[in-house]
Structure 1
């Protein structure tokens, strides 16, 4: 029967060899270690067909532990915490989850990999850094949308302003070049010239011929400018009408806080304890999340200012929920996909969820924020004071130097690059609907309304002046 790690280290010769030669140490007796972990993107569990009640750990962490077992000559089996979390420090000083199993000696080492922090270092001894965690926000990609005001986008605001300024300059110049000997009022000449240049801009015919070369040169130059601008506008507008934008508004924690989305966290994890030190857990209840606090008072968050405090304050607005790692697949399918929830977690775990969803659905329904946060080291944790840690560190260095762990991570994610840079603009061929064109019709309707108001005002003003005009001599008796 294999010895436990504690029993093996009671042998003075074994302990001395482990302490003096950790780089080359191997167990000379049959030793069986208990390795704590919980289902995540880094490890998975399946029943052990050879031994009832036990599981087999797979994934990148499973490969790492198997390598360590061969290098140190021990056998192992995984143990999982009852609360299905990686663990945090409780108000009474004890530890939950994987951290608790290792801290109490119920497991010889624990993996997540576990996010390293000052608080967690009180519960376990951490090995050398295995990898760095970067946290991102995962949200549902919206449905393709067409901006009804897209007809304004072919030209930038500066170009629109420049075009209007050029129209005013050409109009004023043409007014100055007019033949003032013409028998028409000054108002008619000014309005007439403005109408001419508007007709040129709208590619309509000119109402008269120009007799002077200076007028022809001015109108010709204006016609060339408007032709280039209008042709460029028309071609760009055709492209924009065929494009549909897929909204991806949440690109940072600030965007998440300012949105209406509910943020989903893992209970009793490293990231959760940074925002809220001790929280309960969430469980699925139909299509919603019910938040439980384990009969504990609502805790004070560790961050007292900045974006993490704002994130923690979302719990006061009913915009915070918790799910266990094993329930994430159900949560993203019923909540995140709908667009009103966002998941905050390690980027590798989120990429794994997106990859698995693409393998099932055949499309990219989710996206990750461009901004990452909470960059933190992660590694293995062992029981405080365990002498096996230096030997583990040497083997971990070998794995990292050979690139094996990165290779295992890459193999763990199927279709890892398909949705990484999915386009947020797609091209479609479909008839234009009123939903797409209502912006243009709004401008047209406002123009007609202004024309009607102007026409009515002209009638009112004309009648008012006609009533004040003195009677003609022919009407006096």
Structure 2
């Protein structure tokens, strides 16, 4: 916005002094009917115009005049970036719950059928199988785990079931081992929040709305129940997406704000992780709001009242695949579309649109935004692409699930031994 401001000043031949709104807000209607933020300053004629990514709303149009859009943008969700995490139940993930239930039913069905068929064949052919139930159960599980069994039925009916179960268990276990190997080699990262529906459906990460923006009113008055729920269940407000970028990266809350500021925050996060720029070097970014005084114009922001020009890193990391880490994730599903608007009083509105058209159609604005938001392709990569190219060793957490099953089996075996011992003493 600083470059846009300079263009306006040069083409319209005026000087400016930047004034920061006392509450550092865009502007929303208060309960007493007055307005906060920059819109309030315009309404009270404390400034001549304000420049920033405003969104036109019917309420704001009652007190200020809007020019044509400088840039269109979306409202979206910015969250902490999920990473690769060990899953205790990961060894169960190769199949869905339905498949596992059908598999267990198959074991019961095969075991019961084999028990009944073998017993019937023994009566027909005058044979006898000792400990039939135990042998049948052991055979079912030995065949399932591709182990050889010392016992098979003596007659053709039982042997046909043996052949059928052997083929079925071979397909099942081969599929399980193959999928599990692939999951361990190329683990998937679960993205818990990728849309507004995901956000309101979870309760692990609170979310906040940008103070003084149109997002709150838009969500509250929406006909979509999900959007109304997002407004009603929010945990509060944050100043703006840029100043709250570190809190979001730390996982304190998720933020709903404009995508351009989100991408800038992600670019900052990526560049700082690489060590190219420090915190202070990136705080020269011109803020989203620039209220202006009569006879002058300037840049008031949380970073001070001086305008800065920040050059991006000299190395374009978009061309270096798989380098760097970052902690922010932009949800793929947008919440709403809004326009970056330059808000002026009526006295300037007649000449300003010409300047805006020149900036828009010449492509200058797109270049300025691209210069500030570097490493875009790296920052927008899915979390599953964060893994390293080399195969990493599995840690103990990756085996917690199987080890838990083994421990539970040992406990049950010990309890069974105690029961048998107690019964033996009681009977003798």
TM-score (norm 2): 0.72
Whether 1:381 and 2:343 are equivalent positions in the alignment is yes
Residue 179 of structure 1 is aligned with which of 122, 134, 159?
122
The equivalent residue for 1:437 is: 399
The equivalent residue for 2:239 is: 323
Q: In the aligned structure 2, how far is the partner of 1:266 from the partner of 1:140?
A: 17
Residue 231 of structure 1 is aligned with which of 168, 174, 187?
174
Q: In the aligned structure 2, how far is the partner of 1:162 from the partner of 1:96?
A: 61
Q: In the aligned structure 1, how far is the partner of 2:174 from the partner of 2:204?
A: 42
Asked if the contact 1:248/1:367 (under 8 Å) is kept, the reply is no
Q: In the aligned structure 2, how far is the partner of 1:161 from the partner of 1:94?
A: 62
The equivalent residue for 1:222 is: 165
The equivalent residue for 1:79 is: 18
Query: Where do 1:34-49 residues align within 5 Å?
Result: 43=1
Q: Deviations over 1:160-214 (max 9, x none)?
A: 23333433443344331543322346xx223322321211112222113555444
Q: In the aligned structure 1, how far is the partner of 2:43 from the partner of 2:61?
A: 10
Asked if the contact 1:142/1:339 (under 8 Å) is kept, the reply is no
Residue 183 of structure 2 is aligned with which of 219, 240, 265?
240
The structure, 1 or 2, with the larger RCO (C-alpha pairs under 8 Å, 6+ apart) is 2
Q: In the aligned structure 2, how far is the partner of 1:347 from the partner of 1:142?
A: 19
Residue 245 of structure 2 is aligned with which of 320, 332, 355?
332
Deviation at 1:95, TM superposition (A): 3.9
SS at 1:138's partner residue? strand
Q: Deviations over 1:352-386 (max 9, x none)?
A: 11111111113221112233224334422221x43
Asked if the contact 2:84/2:188 (under 8 Å) is kept, the reply is yes
| Matched pairs, number | 368
The equivalent residue for 1:423 is: 383
Whether 1:414 and 2:374 are equivalent positions in the alignment is yes
The equivalent residue for 1:449 is: 411
Asked if the contact 1:134/1:346 (under 8 Å) is kept, the reply is yes
Report the CA distance shift for 1:112/1:240 in structure 2 as closer, same or farther (over 3 A). Answer: same
Whether 1:204 and 2:150 are equivalent positions in the alignment is no
Asked if the contact 2:52/2:343 (under 8 Å) is kept, the reply is no
The unaligned stretches of length 5 or more in structure 1 are: 1-42, 44-56, 276-300, 468-477
Q: In the aligned structure 2, how far is the partner of 1:133 from the partner of 1:253?
A: 17
Deviation at 1:302, TM superposition (A): 7.2
Over the aligned positions, Cα root-mean-square deviation in angstroms equals 3.5
Q: In the aligned structure 1, how far is the partner of 2:149 from the partner of 2:224?
A: 66
The unaligned stretches of length 5 or more in structure 2 are: 275-324
The equivalent residue for 1:110 is: 50
SS at 1:77's partner residue? coil
Larger radius of gyration: 1
Whether 1:348 and 2:260 are equivalent positions in the alignment is yes
Report the CA distance shift for 1:92/1:220 in structure 2 as closer, same or farther (over 3 A). Answer: closer
Deviation at 1:444, TM superposition (A): 2.0
Residue 192 of structure 1 is aligned with which of 131, 135, 146?
135
The equivalent residue for 1:37 is: none
Q: Which of the pair is proportionally richer in strand?
A: 1
Report the CA distance shift for 1:347/1:455 in structure 2 as closer, same or farther (over 3 A). Answer: same
